[in-house]
Amino acid sequence: MKLVPNWKRLALRAHSMWANWLGLACLIAPEIIFYLTGRDMNPRLLWIAGIALIVYGLLGRLLDQGVGDGKTRCGAGVTVAAFLLVAVPLVAKWEGKENTAYLDRIASPPVWTICHGETRGVKQGDVRSDAECQAMLEAGLVEYRDGLHRHFTRATLDTRLTLERDAAYVSLAWNVGISGAGGSTATRRLNAGDIAGGCDALTWWNKAGGRVVRGLVRRRADEYRLCMAGLA
């Protein structure tokens, strides 16, 4: 049993989850008030409100809320599931996979890394299975996608962010960070409607330690190819 990849966003933004949180708050409020003040109160109204909110929350899980599952559409009709089908092999291809934690000395400062470039919470001696690496990559890409989308305008999300372009930009973010990709010329150009110019700007991120790296040149070329898909 595991949490869905975007569980944090779901827990904070889905209206059905908020109904459940508020419903639980109503149910326990009389006990909290008694504990804090010693005042006993008639819990009937709060219990009715709490049960109503929880029922609403349960019914809400059957509705499309714009977050949560692989069928949710976001950005030019791109689903999370469809996005992962393109983004996972793209990022895995260039990141490679190490099941045992290693010290990435190219990073400044060096950082312990595992699987497909994951660094958060990784420490020396960590080991992950192939399945754990796959799940970690999928969850991470969805999280990075959510973060990067906050840097895009509504027009970009609705009309410019195709499936391939979405994967290309998130691949850049996975490599250079959400803030780096989000504040980049590539993103600014895309938001301004200059799609080809934005794709071209992706290729500028080809250096590490101040020098051009062949592997990064090839990765950026792969992202550029995806980004330009469908353009005349």
The pLDDT score that the predictor gives to residue 16 is 63
Query: By three-state DSSP, how is residue 116 classified?
Result: coil
The pLDDT score that the predictor gives to residue 11 is 60
* 222 C-beta neighbours (distance < 10 Å), count: 16
Alpha-carbon distance 223 to 119, whole Å? 22
Length of the chain: 232
Q: Are 185 and 204 in contact (CB under 8 A)?
A: yes
Q: What angle do CA 21, 138, 57 make, to 5 degrees?
A: 20
Q: Which helix (H) or strand (E) holds 114?
A: strand 111-115
The pLDDT score that the predictor gives to residue 184 is 97
Q: DSSP string of 167-181?
A: HHHHHHHHHH-HHHH
Residue pLDDT tens, the chain, 232 long? 455 444 555 566 565 666 777 777 777 877 777 777 877 767 777 778 778 777 776 666 555 444 444 434 445 556 888 999 999 999 999 999 999 999 987 777 889 999 998 888 899 999 999 999 999 999 999 999 999 999 999 999 999 999 999 999 999 999 999 999 999 999 999 999 999 999 999 999 999 878 999 999 999 999 999 999 988 6
pTM of the model: 0.67
To 10 degrees, what angle do helices 15-37 and 44-60 make?
A: 160
